[in-house]
Structure formats: C-alpha cells, structure tokens
Amino acid sequence: MPLLTMSSITKSFPGVRALDGVDLDVEEGEVHCLLGQNGAGKSTLIKVLSGAHQPDEGEITWRGDPVRLPTPVSAMRLGIATIYQELDLVEHVSVAENVFLGHEVATRGLIRAREARSRTAELLARLGHPEIDPGTLVGSLSAAGAQIVSMARALSHDVRLIIMDEPSAALDPDEVDNLFRIVASLTAEGVAVVYISHRLEEIRRIGDRVSVLKDGSVVARDLPARTTPTDELVARMTGRDVRSAFPAKPGAPSRSEPVLRAEGLARDGEFAPLDLQLRPGEIVGLAGLVGSGRSEILETLYGARRPTAGRVLVDGRPLRPGSIPAAVRAGIGLAPEERKSQALLMLESVTRNVSVSSLSRFARAGWLDRGRERAAAHRHTRDLALHPDSPERAVSTFSGGNQQKAVLARWLLHGCRVLLLDEPTRGVDVGARAELYAVIRRLADEGVCVLLVSSELPEVLGLADRVLVLKEGRVVHTAPAHELDEHRVLDLVMEGAPA
C-alpha cells in the first residue's frame, strides 16, 4: 500500500488550469522526483499536498484512508512536512525557536527553553550538523545552515513524508553531498521524500522514481531515476528534441584591447588583490564555492561595494570607486544574483523595468518621451524573444527565464559593453536555459565582454571561454575552459593546489 496517493487532482486559478487530473503515488522510504519546467504545476501540486491550496477536484489518500488537508497544520499533523525553495524562517529569532515555531515546547503557555534547545541540538546532530548552536540567530547562518534548520523543523514533527523544493539551489557541492546523506538516512528510516530539482544529475544520484509534469498533467510516471536517459527526461519535460545546451564557442581567443581592467582590486576579508582583463567578445567564468568571493568581486567591479585596494579601469580610464552610477555610465551592467529582490521592480511592467537605467536618454529636462521609451524597450525585448511578447504586462507575471531577459534587455538598451552575470540561470527552467545561453553567447559575439558567475560548473565550463578558479577569495588557477573539466575544477576549489 502506498504511503500517499493523489488521484485526479485538479486545481484552477482565474484564467489558468494549474493542475489537470494529476495522479501521484509515493511509497514509504522512496525518493520520488518531480520534474517539470517552471509553470508545469509542480509548485501548485506541492502546495495542495502541504495543505496550502485546496484542490477543486480529486482525492488524496494517506496510508489507505481518504484525507482532506484544509490547512498546512492538518498536513503537518499527518506527518507531511515541506521545505520550501524560499526558506520560511524567522531571521531575528534563534535556531531553536525556529525549529519549534508553531508547536513550542511549553507548559501552559510558558516556553521550556532549555528543553527546546536540547531537542534542537539532537535534531541538528542527527542531520550531521552538531556545530550549529541552537541559540544563534537564524539570520547569522549561511544559506546551507538555514536549510539544515528548516530540515530540523520538519523532523521536529513525527514526519513520514518530506517535500523538498529545489533544496540544492543555494548549496555548494560538499553541502549537497551532506544533503544527500541526510536524505539517504531518512529514507532508510522509512521516510518518503518528494524531491524537486532542475538538476538532472542530482536526480540520478538520489532518486528512485521520476514523475514528469507538463502543463498541469503528468506526462510520464514510474521512470527509473538512475537509468532513464537525460535526453528522454528533457524531451518529456519540454516535448521537444534535444541537443547540446551550449552554443559553439569562437575558435581563437579574443585579441582586442581589453575594455575592462581590474588592477590589484581587493576587499579586506572578502577577496585578495585581483588582476582581471575582459576583452570584447569574451566570456570569462568565475568558478568557486559559495562564499569564495565570486559575487563580491562582481559587485565591487560594479561599484556596489567600495574596494579597499586597487582600481577598475574602463577603456584605460579609472572609475570612481564605489559608485554605481559611474560604472553604469562607463557601460557596465550587472544582472544580480537575486533577481526578484535585487534586479526587478515587481509591481512594474517589463517595459519600465527595461528602461529604468536609461530614463534620462528618453527625457528632455526631466520630461519623458514615453513613446520613444516604449519603442526602444520593445525593440530589445523582441530581440531577446521575450515570451509572451507583451512587455506592458507586469514583470511578476513572467517566468524566471523571461524575467532574466528583462534584466538583460535593460543593459542592452543602455548600450552596455561589460555585462556582469551573477547566477543568470538560477530558477530558470531547463528549456529556457538553452535560450539564455544562446543570448549570452550572441551578445559576446556582438562585442560585449561577459563575466559570468555560476554555482553550476557545467554552465561555467560550457559557456565561458576562459575560467578563473577562486578559492577563499583568491584566484588559484586561470585557464581556457576547454583545458578544464569538472573534476579538475572541483579539485582546485577543494584543495586549492596551484597548477
């Protein structure tokens, strides 16, 4: 008897049928992977399963009995816990308080703090992280630490099924290994895991069965996770043919004069003095772990952080340190790591998100020529194949890949010559990634210098011409991408052995 069966689940929102007769069954002790592009209905399905959404039709049975899950609490009572993509922790309170949030260890309303702390410590030890102090504030933990806390919270209930929504998105390779150890020990105890990830290689490593969602329906089920070919999985998700994701690279390295130069650029405690040259037509990748100083380097080049030493030059002229407007005027553009909080004005249309950095170009004495603004923005969104092609709609209604296109269009409209990309494909589904890769390569071919940061090594190696390997804020190796492979880079970031 399966632990959980969902049959013919249907859920509509105004104008969208998010789930259309979905069937899913989960066995005890298995890792059931859920694949699908953004918008395929994965999030809606797990929200139904966790009690956050009510299905319009369909039935859920739990250990053979039909159940209703009117609230998240009722799902929790059955033993269903969800770890969301965007962790739902309270930053200003301690680890222990977060773990027992909503079901505090208390007698008649009085918290038994010591017991909560010791039980939290037990849970953290079970998760392989005894070093996390139950008394520290969650806000001071790393992304990986916060995720462990989230998991401890799930385990603080008598949990039988854990839903993990892209748990590895913010993790380093060694932290991912730890996550997989935890998943393995949970399933050994008979706990079932519903695992959602865009990274197919992870599904190979820990998955048992795969179900594929597309446009609100299950298009494939009971696929063996370890042996189903990648091509087949992707074809099921997209309904299209497959070929290599990465566009061809130019044969010879760029020999033009560098547009951007960093000379001895450094920030105390973040990264050591760095010399860097970016030439037109070149894509340079920064490989390294989370916390190796990748994003800090990008933000310092962009003027969002003030360097403690060194300088940045564009066309041989030094930029005013720590000034974003100066960097933007010189033709540098940044697509930051957190698209929603750092790049986009979520209430505004795509057009206004695209034009925001170039407003003065469309204005005379502060007076906007909105027709010209719109025409110019539309030219670039159409050029990048924004889908759907309705840039007057709010940017929040677009998928992750198309939101990223809006950010790229912003800098193309500005006429940028140096593009700094921080995790450009985070939260972008597999079909749209190839499209973004093609766009980035085309921009480089048109003479833009690109500096790329990504946690996914295949992306750095596949897209970049030249790769800088970072370890703890220091460049430990520089090489053309074709001379490197994933193992070599991983050795370098772990061991830091100079080549």
> What distance in Å separates the CA atoms of residue 173 and residue 180, rounded to the nearest whole number?
11
Bridge partners of 146? none
Q: Which is nearer to other proteins, 61 or 390 (CB)?
A: 390
What are the CB-based long-range contacts (under 8 Å, 24+) for 353-361? Answer: 353/395, 353/406, 353/407, 353/410, 354/380, 354/381, 354/391, 354/406, 354/409, 354/410, 354/413, 355/410, 355/413, 356/410, 357/328, 357/333, 357/410, 357/411, 357/413, 357/414, 358/410, 358/413, 358/414
User: Tokens 């407007």 label which residue?
Assistant: 325
Q: Which is nearer to other proteins, 98 or 349 (CB)?
A: 349
Q: At its nearest, how many Å lie between other proteins and the CB of residue 434?
A: 5
Torsion, Cα 164 169 172 173, to 10 degrees, reads 70
Q: Which is nearer to other proteins, 407 or 448 (CB)?
A: 407
Q: Which is nearer to other proteins, 134 or 336 (CB)?
A: 336
Q: Which is nearer to other proteins, 114 or 340 (CB)?
A: 340
User: Tokens 């924004």 label which residue?
Assistant: 386
Q: At its nearest, how many Å lie between other proteins and the CB of residue 494?
A: 14
Q: At its nearest, how many Å lie between other proteins and the CB of residue 67?
A: 27
Q: At its nearest, how many Å lie between other proteins and the CB of residue 378?
A: 16
Q: At its nearest, how many Å lie between other proteins and the CB of residue 316?
A: 22
> What distance in Å separates the CA atoms of residue 49 and residue 164, rounded to the nearest whole number?
12
Q: At its nearest, how many Å lie between other proteins and the CB of residue 468?
A: 20
Note whether 168 and 179 are within 8 A (CB). Answer: yes
Q: Which is nearer to other proteins, 79 or 167 (CB)?
A: 167
Q: Which is nearer to other proteins, 127 or 196 (CB)?
A: 196
Q: At its nearest, how many Å lie between other proteins and the CB of residue 65?
A: 33
What are the CB-based long-range contacts (under 8 Å, 24+) for 249-252? Answer: 249/441, 249/465, 249/481, 249/482, 250/281, 250/445, 250/465
Q: At its nearest, how many Å lie between other proteins and the CB of residue 351?
A: 10
Note whether 377 and 355 are within 8 A (CB). Answer: yes
Q: At its nearest, how many Å lie between other proteins and the CB of residue 178?
A: 17
Alpha-carbon distances, residue 8 vs 5, 12, 196, 220, 484 (angstroms): 10, 13, 20, 15, 48
Q: Which is nearer to other proteins, 67 or 326 (CB)?
A: 326
Amino acid at 375: A
Amino acid at 389: D
Phi and psi at 11, nearest 5°, equal -145, 125
Q: Which is nearer to other proteins, 25 or 459 (CB)?
A: 459
Q: Which is nearer to other proteins, 247 or 273 (CB)?
A: 247
Q: At its nearest, how many Å lie between other proteins and the CB of residue 69?
A: 22
Please state whether beta strands 449-453 and 283-287 pair in parallel, antiparallel, or not at all (unpaired): parallel
> What distance in Å separates the CA atoms of residue 430 and residue 374, rounded to the nearest whole number?
30
Note whether 466 and 281 are within 8 A (CB). Answer: no
Amino acid at 390: S
